[in-house]
C-alpha cells in the first residue's frame, strides 16, 4: 500500500459538501493521528465539511540516523530551522496543492478550504499558504514554525494576505521551541497577515481546551 492509499477522509454534516479541511500530521506519525479529534471540535451542524488526512511518504530523516519514516521533509539537525530541506518542502507543497485541487475539482471552492497541520505538517501548511496561488478559507498551524521565513517577502503570492491564520503552541514544547513558534507568528503579523496566536500549558501535543478553540475558529472561518 502506497502512502497515497493511506489518506483518510471523514464527513461532518449531512448537507451538500461545500467545505473542506486538509490536515497534515507530524514527523513519524500517520494519517490516523487526528481523525478522532473531529467529533470533539463542536462544529456547527449547518456546515457540511470533508476532512482529509493525508499520509506523508516515508523518507530518510537525517536527525534520526537516516531512518525511513513518514515525513513531509528531512530534518537535518537539532536546530530544526537550520539547514532546511528545500527539496522535501517543495515536494510536500506540491502534494498539498494537489489535494487542494482535488477538492476544487469536486466542487468545493478554494475559499472554502482550510489547510492545517501539526508540527512538520503545520510547517507545510504555513509554507504553502503564503506561497500558493489558491485563495484559501484558512491556515491552521499547530506546534510548528514558519520555514524559510527570510524568503517570505520574495516568495509570497499575497493571495492569502487576508486569509485567517490560527497558530497554537505549547508553553512546554520540547520538540519545537515555543520561541520559534512565536517568532514565526510575529513574522507573519509584521507582514500584515490576520493571525491569531494562542499558547497552552502543554508539550508537543494537543489538549481538549485547544481542540474546542480550534472548532470555534473553524466555525468562524467557515
Contact between 21 and 51 (Cβ < 8 Å): yes
- Tell me the catalytic residues: 119, 173, 204
SS (H, E, C) 97-112: HHHHHHHHHCCCCHHH
Q: Which residues contact 109 (CB under 8 A, 6 or more apart)?
A: 18
Distance CA 62, CA 196 (A): 33
Alpha-carbon gap, residue 133 to 111, rounded angstroms: 12
Using CA atoms, how far apart are residues 187 and 47, in angstroms rounded to an integer?
32
Those residues with Cβ within 8 angstroms of residue 127's Cβ, 6 or more apart along the chain or in another chain: 89, 93, 146, 147, 148
- 58-61 and 113-118 beta bridge pairing: unpaired
> What CA–CA distance (Å, rounded) separates 86 from 195?
25
Amino acid at each position: 500500500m502506497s502512502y497515497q492509499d493511506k489518506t483518510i477522509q471523514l464527513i461532518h454534516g449531512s448537507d451538500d459538501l461545500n467545505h473542506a479541511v486538509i490536515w497534515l500530521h507530524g514527523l513519524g506519525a500517520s494519517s490516523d493521528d487526528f481523525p478522532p479529534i473531529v467529533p470533539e471540535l463542536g462544529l456547527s451542524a449547518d456546515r457540511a465539511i470533508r476532512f482529509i488526512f493525508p499520509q506523508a511518504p516515508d523518507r530518510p530523516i537525517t536527525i534520526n540516523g537516516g531512518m525511513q519514516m513518514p515525513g513531509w521533509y528531512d530534518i537535518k539537525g537539532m536546530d530544526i530551522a537550520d539547514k532546511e530541506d528545500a527539496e522535501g518542502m517543495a515536494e510536500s507543497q506540491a502534494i498539498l496543492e494537489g489535494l487542494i485541487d482535488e477538492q476544487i475539482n469536486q466542487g468545493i471552492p478554494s475559499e472554502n478550504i482550510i489547510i492545517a497541520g501539526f508540527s512538520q505538517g503545520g510547517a507545510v501548511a504555513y509554507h504553502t499558504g503564503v506561497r500558493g496561488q489558491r485563495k484559501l478559507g484558512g491556515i491552521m498551524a499547530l506546534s510548528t514554525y514558519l520555514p524559510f521565513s527570510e524568503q517570505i517577502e520574495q516568495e509570497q503570492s499575497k493571495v492569502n494576505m487576508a486569509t485567517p491564520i490560527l497558530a497554537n503552541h505549547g508553553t512546554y514544547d520540547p520538540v519545537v521551541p515555543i520561541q520559534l513558534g512565536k517568532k514565526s507568528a510575529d513574522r507573519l503579523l509584521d507582514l500584515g497577515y490576520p493571525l491569531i496566536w494562542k499558547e497552552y500549558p502543554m508539550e508537543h501535543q494537543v489538549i481538549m481546551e485547544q481542540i474546542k478553540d480550534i472548532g470555534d475558529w473553524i466555525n468562524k472561518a467557515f
